[in-house]
Chain A
């Protein structure tokens, strides 16, 4: 088995080398600038110095850390954008998860600026998206969204040749649509249904299949899926795992 794979690999490699394409297996080298990681396009809400709400679309975002009982999320935004300026000034932002019902409105918010020629531009008036001031932060909560995180900036990071400034926000409170929770609706991490929550998936760039997606059907639980294909004994020994 290994020999035929090895010789197959050698043949492919030789042919591809002759073609001038660096390759291994079925993979070829491509540009390094593509955002190829699976992502989510979030609506990031902020207020300006006059308390006027703005919202933009950010896909350079994710969980940074989950220290005991808390979550730190991050968003990467170009410092020239109105949203970045608002976060700098207020030290707060919201991360709002769009669903399919409001996807065109959400997408629109990523195509125009909240400040046009020095004048405030109200994206909420154009799209009809609903918002109200956050309970714990000076930033808008977009109430059409199934999940909303209220965040306070705790750290930032910039890079000499990077375009984006990274804002790390501690989630001080969050909101979830009741219909997205199973059971008693009091323990979100045990009850949140991503399918009913309607969270979307996103792939950045200009590929044929770049853009907005629904999630697939659920594919199984961590720690359960391996057991179907690699039941014990499988050559590995388990270590008592830390709780996370």
Chain B
């Protein structure tokens, strides 16, 4: 058996007296599609932040592609193939939509491959990514002029532009219409078929259920379930904590 792509063990994070994450163990194999759910404030985004280096975990370890991530800054982790979208969109407001996508191309893809993509190559790549998320017409608009929904799509496209091995999509679909949700799920499944491992954090259950091969549930900073989606959903503890009595 090969080692998992992402291996989290005993991860803990506190904010003052508040325990945000408590002894999280999670292994994600290469090529897997994992859904991560949990009520608001259960620690999902904190977990993402600890995986990606935005926050530093006090205890436990994160290993990615066989390498310990401790002590690595966020950009170094991105260079190694971890990419994430932010739950609240954080576009580079003074850049155009296409300009936003160029940042990971210039700073991650070039750095990783030691290449120097030409302007034409980068333009082509940006156009392709924007086409995928349905923002092609907005390429030359300033990202600050986008709607919230468009910003979420841009978040996803920017994470994809870094050509990650593992993509973590943090609520990329909030506010999207049913048809758009279906489009994004299809897009993520397609990416996954091309070899990208994906962790999806989402509240829209229909999306999570149709996407995930495996479902992980966080409640109050603890992992309470991990397994096949239909089994997890039927778990009475999950039902009580997350879906209500």
Q: Do A and B bind each other?
A: no
Chain A residues with CB under 8 Å of chain B are: none
